[in-house]
Copies of this chain bind each other. A is one copy, B any other.
Amino acid sequence: MSQQQMVEEIKGWVYEAGENIKRKLQSPLIVEEKTNKSDLVTNVDKETEAFFIDKIRHHYPDDQILGEEGLGDHVTDFSGRVWIIDPIDGTLNFVKQQDNFCTMLAVYEEGIGQMAFIYEVMRDELLWGGKGMGVYLNEQVIKDVPNITLEKGLISVNTHMFLNNTYETQTVAMKSIGVRMIGCAGIGFKELIKGNQNAYISNLQPWDYAPAKVLMEELGLKMIALNGEPLDLRQKVPILGATPAAFAEIQTRQN
């Protein structure tokens, strides 16, 4: 199967997952707390992860799967092909707003991002693409993301990092033209990739940043862990995603 065929197959799964999620929003959600009152999981998170895992196991039985809800494998070694799934990214928004969430999936090989899918379900916006194949918003190719400076752009940030000025997040944000808090990593990165903001700063799990990393690398956008750790897909880290111009300014401020 060619890379292009594989992408088309996965796009089909993502759209099908989106339809299932929308249908399930018609019934009451079963909501549980995970680590605290704002860290939620629903039946739809779990069912969506199970849906993707079922597809992957059927078509790619030898691959490893890292899923947010833990229904995949306990991945410690990123050799071979690894699928990374965030079934509902922005579960708090999903529960409280029935909107402003994404379903996301990335495929890595030997630790290197190959293809990725960020689907904002309620807007029907699918950002997809991969290494050497370009990046698309639905059927439209994204080229030459505007290299927005800190001063000229909107920025999305994590509330706590902003409040506590962790890694100068507040200082950097207040140099921007406006601060946004959306509560969904997929949307934060999507706005950056669409050329609508200069940076996105948040504390993120691998499944929150892995899909965007693939697309951003393909487009020449920057992503690093602010604590100086490598992005090895093994742990939660403070992430900066930015245009090259904003990245250079933020690095200067932090050093």
Contacts and interface: CB of A to CB of B under 8 A. Distances in A.
B177 A92 contact: yes
A179 B161 CA distance: 12
Interface in A148-203: 151, 153-154, 159, 163, 170, 174, 177-183, 191, 194, 196-197
Contacts of A154: 92-93, 96-97, 183
B181 A179 contact: yes
B97 A177 contact: no
Q: Quick one: copies of this chain in the complex?
A: 2
B177 A180 contact: no
Contacts of A251: none
Given A97-B154, A154-B183, A92 B191 contact: no
Contacts of A182: 180, 182
A180 B178 contact: no
A123 interface: yes
Contacts of A180: 181-183
Contacts of A174: 163
Contacts of A178: 38, 92, 96, 159, 183
Contacts of A37: 151, 177
Contacts of A123: 123
Interface of A: 37-38, 92-93, 96-99, 123, 151, 153-154, 159, 163, 170, 174, 177-183, 191, 194, 196-197
